[in-house]
Amino acid sequence: MKISGDWLDHPGTQALCAVLAKAGYQALFVGGCVRNALLDVPVADIDIATDAAPEIVSNLAETAGFRVVPTGIEHGTVTVIAQGVAHEVTTFRRDVETDGRRAVVAFSTNVAEDAARRDFTMNALYARADGTVLDPLGGLPDLIARRVRFVGEAEARIREDYLRILRFFRFYAVYGDPVRGIDVEGLSACATNVNGIDGLSRERIGAEMRKLLGARDPAPAVATMAQTGILARVLPGSDAKALSVLVHVEGDLPPRWQRRLVILGGTDPGGALRLSRAETGSNVAIRDEIGSTLTPAALGWKHGRAGATDTVLCRAALFEAPLPRNWQSEILRGVTSTLPVTAADLMPALQGPALGKKLHEIQARWLASDLYLRKSDLLA
Ligand code: ATP
Ligand code: MG
């Protein structure tokens, strides 16, 4: 079995592998890039596993003229930028000690040991520089069947790192087979260890949830998370009911995690998932706008294309109402419109707070008119 892809053939990537090989070390692609190449879906980032120690990787790469950034040196990772492409190069590891959040690792020269500490069998696939796939744990049949299965005993693996609960649902959402359903052993191990989620950092939870909610159809995974009480831990006060309707309403539109998060609600999604200030701001704005009567064009003007699209889709899902006619072109009409009245039109007759108040009132009338009132109408 061989994988292929432009990323694999890239001269920078091949050069980096050749530098390690020439010095007598293994350089194996691992994780997402191998998994995605086998599934024929786009490869986002390149992870390389090696039996060379991190300092050796750094020295060899620098001598070859590549830029090296020690991005995770304490757990054996350096980023090597070769001809413009970033590679996360990590020395083979085995866990020495785990506490459910952080692991103490030791470097290893054995790929089987490295595979054994990875989370799911489909993530423990390796490939040589020529694309030959190595499958030390028999992950390939699982990948082909889209079976997200823990490496080893699910319960034990979750106790080592509770983030794996969220990764289990994330990988099921993105790569699983909803017809076959979620792996039962994995699910029951997640359900008995819900308490472990409370000890995780909100950043790590947030990073997994973004990816999970960005899946084509995260609804089956999220529904299962809700049934097992995991969703309530991750996003208190949320409600998963309307998510599947939203996914249905979205049709072929590109998924957006932000939109899915709006529909889930929650008392404080910004805090629960450590969203940025801007992300929290748009989450609140869209949630507030769902109940308004603004037309798609008005929404486009006020919130931009993405925010308006999210509002229209969430409304349709929550109220189980049809989508407005021509809503996408109407949003674009709004995005490209300008409020016909400016402050200059009202000055000097109005100044200061009175000016602001008048402008605000004019804006509200213009939005309520579906952006059709003209300057003369608005000033009349
Ligand atoms: P993507 O980058 O597309 O989200 P990925 O599989 O590359 O998917 P990463 O989070 O980048 O996911 O992790 C890279 C690899 O490291 C995984 O494929 C897996 O083998 C391993 N890994 C990551 N996090 C864990 C973890 N918490 N426990 C065990 N192994 C992990
Ligand atoms: Mg990755």
What was the pLDDT predicted at 103? 80
Is 353 inside a domain boundary? yes
Is 86 inside a domain boundary? yes
pLDDT beyond 90 at 105: no
Q: What is the DSSP string of 189-230?
A: HHHHTGGGGGGS-HHHHHHHHHHHHTSS--HHHHHHHHHTTH
Pocket test for ligand 1, best of 29, 95, 98, 123 (most atoms within 8 A of CB): 123
What's the rounded mean pLDDT across residues 170-189? Answer: 96
What was the pLDDT predicted at 155? 97
How many domains does the structure of the chain reveal? 2
Is 64 inside a domain boundary? yes
Q: Kindly state the tokens that stand for 207.
A: 């990073």
pLDDT beyond 90 at 150: yes
SS3 category, 9: helix
pLDDT beyond 90 at 60: yes
Chain segment 4-32, per-residue pLDDT in tens: 999 999 999 999 999 999 999 999 999 99
Of 87, 119, 144, which residue is a domain's last? 144
Name the maximum alpha-carbon separation found in the chain. 82
Ligand 1 lined by 208 (C-beta under 6 Å): no
What was the pLDDT predicted at 191? 97
Of 106, 128, 144, which residue is a domain's last? 144
What's the rounded mean pLDDT across residues 44-52? Answer: 96
pLDDT beyond 90 at 149: yes
Q: What is the DSSP string of 65-102?
A: T-EEEEEEGGGTEEEEEETTEEEEEEE-EEEEEE-BS-
Ligand 1 lined by 160 (C-beta under 6 Å): no
What was the pLDDT predicted at 272? 98
Helix (H) or strand (E) holding 35: helix 32-39
What was the pLDDT predicted at 100? 83
What's the rounded mean pLDDT across residues 96-111? Answer: 86
Task: For residues 311 and 338, give the distance between their C-alpha atoms in angstroms, rounded to a whole number.
Answer: 20
Please name the residue whose Cα sits nearest to atom 5 of ligand 1.
32
Using the atom order of ligand 1, give the atom closest to the CA of residue 151: 29
Pocket test for ligand 1, best of 119, 160, 172, 257 (most atoms within 8 A of CB): 119
What's the rounded mean pLDDT across residues 61-84? Answer: 95
Mean pLDDT of the chain: 96
What's the rounded mean pLDDT across residues 45-63? Answer: 97
Residues in the chain: 380
Is 226 inside a domain boundary? no
pLDDT beyond 90 at 102: no
Residue 44's domain is classified under what CATH number? 3.30.460.10
Is 366 inside a domain boundary? yes
Ligand lying nearest the CA atom of residue 39:
1
Is 167 inside a domain boundary? no
Using the atom order of ligand 1, give the atom closest to the CA of residue 164: 27
* pLDDT band of 260, cuts 50, 70, 90: very high
pLDDT beyond 90 at 305: yes
Is 279 inside a domain boundary? no
Residues spanned by the domain of 369: 339-379
Task: For residues 376 and 29, give the distance between their C-alpha atoms in angstroms, rounded to a whole number.
Answer: 65
Of 118, 144, 170, which residue is a domain's last? 144
Ligand lying nearest the CA atom of residue 118:
1
pLDDT beyond 90 at 130: yes
What was the pLDDT predicted at 309? 98
Q: What is the share, in percent, of the chain residues with pLDDT greater than 90?
A: 95
Is 345 inside a domain boundary? yes
Which one, of 212, 105, 214, 211, lies nearest residue 161 by Cα? 105
Burial of 239 (0-12, 13-18, 19+ CB in 10 A): middle
Which residues are CB-contacts of 349 (< 8 A; sequence separation ≥ 6)? Answer: none
Task: For residues 41 and 288, give the distance between their C-alpha atoms in angstroms, rounded to a whole number.
Answer: 36
Using the atom order of ligand 1, give the atom closest to the CA of residue 163: 27
Ligand 1 lined by 31 (C-beta under 6 Å): yes
What was the pLDDT predicted at 96? 85
Ligand 1 lined by 93 (C-beta under 6 Å): no
What's the rounded mean pLDDT across residues 305-330? Answer: 97
What's the rounded mean pLDDT across residues 332-341? Answer: 98
